[in-house]
């Protein structure tokens, strides 16, 4: 038995033309799942940290300064030779988030950005200044308010060095200076406010303290970002008094709300009573009672009151005065019928 199928050699173009829905993986590769897809591009280098680099003209230090500077350059050149530990290496690194301040013979003349920097080992010295955002914990502070109440609070200060050369060479200890300035300002601001004001306006107090310490901090080359009051504690006696006062205030407000609700309920009940005592309401109630009695399967006797008796009963229900005339026999019969009807209902 022979087959009618004869294999033929066709090129790639013939295959694609015969099967247009087939995808060639060599020409159209799928997505590469081995590497993560980057959804956010990193910041540029100049946006990551602001540049503080500068260089000033150095004064003439005479022949001795030139001699030391030349000898230091020679020592630095020898220090760059591998495995030559007799001479210092002139290349130093400055970490990211820091600024390098270079002094020559103790005088500042240059600032460099993070990276590798060359320093003369004999005449120059490299200092590191941190320009990252810092958090400083303010120790627990006890002070008195305007109404002579002792309070204890702790806070945190966020600041950043914006002028490295000013902060490094102007203030001996920048953190200690900011801490003392903040504590003094806290005592000053809280001493001018009452206890209730200090409790309710904590954010406003922190904002005023931040504005006060921002001016001297700017002269030190520091920018105050924010000041937050973390903990605010009172003596036990004062805390109990405030709790009792708050509880009494809540109870009073609940009683006022309850009294208002009772007044509104009384008004609605009075309005409902006036509506039910009207002639039309009595007739509707009368017809409703007759309909309910008619729906019952038991034998019943219905006494039909007159219209005058219904109106008189409505007057009695509404609190009106009884009529001055004496009731006749017909009225008595109608009244007895109404009473029998009400008892049956």
Select the more confidently predicted residue: 40 or 54: 54
Q: How many residues does the chain have?
A: 345
Q: Cα separation of 156 and 137, whole Å? A: 5
What's the pLDDT score for residue 7?
Answer: 45
What's the pLDDT score for residue 260?
Answer: 84
What's the pLDDT score for residue 51?
Answer: 86
- Highest average pLDDT, of 155-159, 256-260, 282-286, 336-340, comes from 155-159
Half-sphere exposure for 16 (CA within 13 Å, toward CB) = 7
pLDDT per position as a tens digit, 139-185: 888 888 888 888 888 899 999 999 999 999 999 999 999 999 999 99
Q: Cα separation of 104 and 58, whole Å? A: 8
Number of Cβ within a 10 Å radius of residue 258:
10
- Highest average pLDDT, of 51-65, 153-167, 234-248, 261-275, comes from 153-167
Q: Cα separation of 245 and 251, whole Å? A: 10
Q: Cα separation of 216 and 222, whole Å? A: 9
Picking from 313, 312, 317, the residue whose alpha carbon sits closest to that of residue 275 is 317
Picking from 54, 52, 166, 169, the residue whose alpha carbon sits closest to that of residue 110 is 54
Q: Cα separation of 115 and 33, whole Å? A: 35
Domain segments of the chain as ranges:
48-130, 134-234, 238-276, 279-344
Strands (E), the chain: 54-55, 91-94, 98-104, 107-112, 115-118, 124-130, 134-144, 150-161, 222-233
Question: What does the angle CA 146 – CA 148 – CA 150 come to, to the nearest 5 degrees?
Answer: 110
Select the more confidently predicted residue: 161 or 237: 161
Picking from 195, 192, 205, the residue whose alpha carbon sits closest to that of residue 245 is 195
Residue 5: left (phi > 0), alpha (psi -120 to 50), or beta? beta
Mean pLDDT for the chain?
Answer: 76
Half-sphere exposure for 245 (CA within 13 Å, toward CB) = 7
Q: Cα separation of 264 and 192, whole Å? A: 46
pLDDT per position as a tens digit, 54-109: 888 877 788 888 888 888 889 888 888 887 778 888 999 999 889 999 999 988 99
User: 134-234: which CATH topology?
Assistant: Tetrahydropterin Synthase; Chain A (3.30.479)
Residues forming beta bridges with residue 152, ordered by sequence position: 142, 233
């Amino acid at each position: 038995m022979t087959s009618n199928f004869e294999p033929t050699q066709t090129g790639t173009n013939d295959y694609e033309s015969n099967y247009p829905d087939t995808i060639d993986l060599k020409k159209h590769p799928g997505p590469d799942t081995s590497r993560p897809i980057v959804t956010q591009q990193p910041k540029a280098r100049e946006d990551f940290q602001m540049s503080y680099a500068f260089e000033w003209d150095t004064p003439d230090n005479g022949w001795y300064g030139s001699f030391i500077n030349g000898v230091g350059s020679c020592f630095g050149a020898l220090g760059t030779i591998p495995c030559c530990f007799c001479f210092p290496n002139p290349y130093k690194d400055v970490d990211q988030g820091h600024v390098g301040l270079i002094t020559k013979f103790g005088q500042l003349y240059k600032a460099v950005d993070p990276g590798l920097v060359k320093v003369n080992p004999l005449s120059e010295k490299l200092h590191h200044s941190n320009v990252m955002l810092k958090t400083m914990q303010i120790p627990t502070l006890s002070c008195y308010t305007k109404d002579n109440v002792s309070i204890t609070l702790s806070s945190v200060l966020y600041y950043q060095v914006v002028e490295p050369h000013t902060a490094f060479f102007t203030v001996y200890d920048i953190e200690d200076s900011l801490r003392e300035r903040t504590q003094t300002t806290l005592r000053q601001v809280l001493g001018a406010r009452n206890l209730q004001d200090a409790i309710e306006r904590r954010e406003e107090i922190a904002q005023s303290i931040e504005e006060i310490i921002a001016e001297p901090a700017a002269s030190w080359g520091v920018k105050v970002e924010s000041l937050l009051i973390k903990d605010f504690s009172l003596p036990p006696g004062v805390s109990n008094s405030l709790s009792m006062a708050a509880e009494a205030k809540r109870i009073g407000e609940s009683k006022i709300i309850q009294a208002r609700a009772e007044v509104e309920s009384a008004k609605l009940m009075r309005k409902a009573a006036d509506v039910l005592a009207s002639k039309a309401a009595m007739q509707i109630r009368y017809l409703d009672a007759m309909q309910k009695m008619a729906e019952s399967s038991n034998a019943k006797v219905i006494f039909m009151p007159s219209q005058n008796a219904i109106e008189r009963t409505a007057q009695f229900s509404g609190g009106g005065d009884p009529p001055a005339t004496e009731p006749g026999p017909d009225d008595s019969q109608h009244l007895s019928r109404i009473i029998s009807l009400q008892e049956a209902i």
